[in-house]
Amino acid sequence: MIFINPKTGYAFKKIFGSPQSKNILISFLNGLVYEGNSTIEYLEIIKPNLPPQLEGLKDTYLDVKARLNDGTLVIIQIQVLNVQFSGKRVLFNAAKTYAFQLERRRQAYRDLKPVIALTLTDFDMFPGQNQLISRFVYREKSEGWYYPDNGMELVFVELPKFTKELNELETLTDKWIYFMKYARSLSSIPENMDDIPELNQAFEIANQAGLTLEELEELERREMFIYDQQGAIALGLQQGRQQGREEGREEAKRETARNLLGQLNDETIAQATGLSLEEIATLREERSSD
């Protein structure tokens, strides 16, 4: 058996966002958000009402959205590129989802339901911190008590910080994270994951044998797109840091952008460097006139 990579857009939405994926998503969220407890009994998978993705970040930031039985909205997001302002993007999408609940005039603040933003990153979101799963809510700064009607919770799972081997998997949480991180490299369903029906169903959906040749080619193209962007950004940042030792921080950003001009579009470069689109357009003009 060969499994598709659940960290690509097509695979992620096919596994977790399809009409037949409700039980899979319930198990997944119980494992990652509710520490393996059977908290969610029912959910509805809905289309995200969020701003459109930047074209240059296609398949590098994607989401599935669901409404739980108590009305709570959950956004499940994957980030595979470590670009600037990733944290702001998560907060922005959570805030927009929270606010967009009141689209009709007669709705009142009392109609607002909590929003949980679950974000899985394929990089260290919080360098220097050892926690695999981090949770953020509104709390009083000096004494730590919770804000009344706490409307948003941010949950982060940093895949590189998951280091358990297959024979060390014990909890539902362990097994779902292992699936997300390693499914692409497996050739069969592991025996110690076979006891969870929803995981078996996820593996069945991810099995390449059920896909057409056209779907497989599209998946490979998208996976290569991600790897190319990861490599381009890593190389650009490395060259920019070397240049920055001599010329300063802002020039380092510009040098990084110059290194990426031939490989990424302006929106992606802006996300990776923190420069404005106008600055990047100027760099392109300078390059074309050389």
pLDDT in tens, 180-216: 999 989 999 999 998 899 999 999 988 865 666 676 6
Q: Which of 188, 210, 232 is the last residue of a domain?
A: 210
Query: Phi, psi (5° rounding) for residue 49?
Result: -105, 65
Do 15 and 104 lie in one domain? The reply is: yes
Residue numbers of the domain that contains 33: 9-210
Whether 59 and 8 have beta carbons less than 8 Å apart is answered as: yes
Do 236 and 120 lie in one domain? The reply is: no
* Number of domains the chain contains: 2
SS3 285: helix
Q: Which of 210, 234, 255 is the last residue of a domain?
A: 210
- Residue 243 placed within a domain: yes
Whether 6 and 15 have beta carbons less than 8 Å apart is answered as: yes
253 vs 256: CA distance, rounded Å: 5
According to DSSP H, which parts of the chain are helical? 9-16, 22-32, 86-99, 172-182, 197-206, 213-247, 249-260, 266-273, 277-289
Residue 83: both structure tokens together: 């670009």
Helices (H) and strands (E) in the chain, counts: 9, 6
Do 272 and 153 lie in one domain? The reply is: no
pLDDT in tens, 11-27: 888 899 888 899 999 99
Do 13 and 79 lie in one domain? The reply is: yes
Do 195 and 227 lie in one domain? The reply is: no
Question: In terms of DSSP bridges, do strands 115-121 and 152-158 run parallel, antiparallel, or are they unpaired?
Answer: parallel
Do 173 and 261 lie in one domain? The reply is: no
Do 135 and 199 lie in one domain? The reply is: yes
pLDDT in tens, 272-286: 777 888 888 888 888
Q: Which of 165, 194, 210 is the last residue of a domain?
A: 210
Do 54 and 178 lie in one domain? The reply is: yes
- Residue 47 placed within a domain: yes
- Residue 84 placed within a domain: yes
Q: How long is the chain?
A: 290
- If one compares 271 and 145, the residue with the highest pLDDT of the two is 145
SS3 46: strand
Mean pLDDT value across residues 23-33: 96
278 vs 26: CA distance, rounded Å: 44
- Residue 2 placed within a domain: no
- How far is residue 230 from each of residues 57, 60, 212, 236, measured CA to CA in Å? 11, 10, 27, 10
Do 33 and 136 lie in one domain? The reply is: yes
Do 206 and 271 lie in one domain? The reply is: no
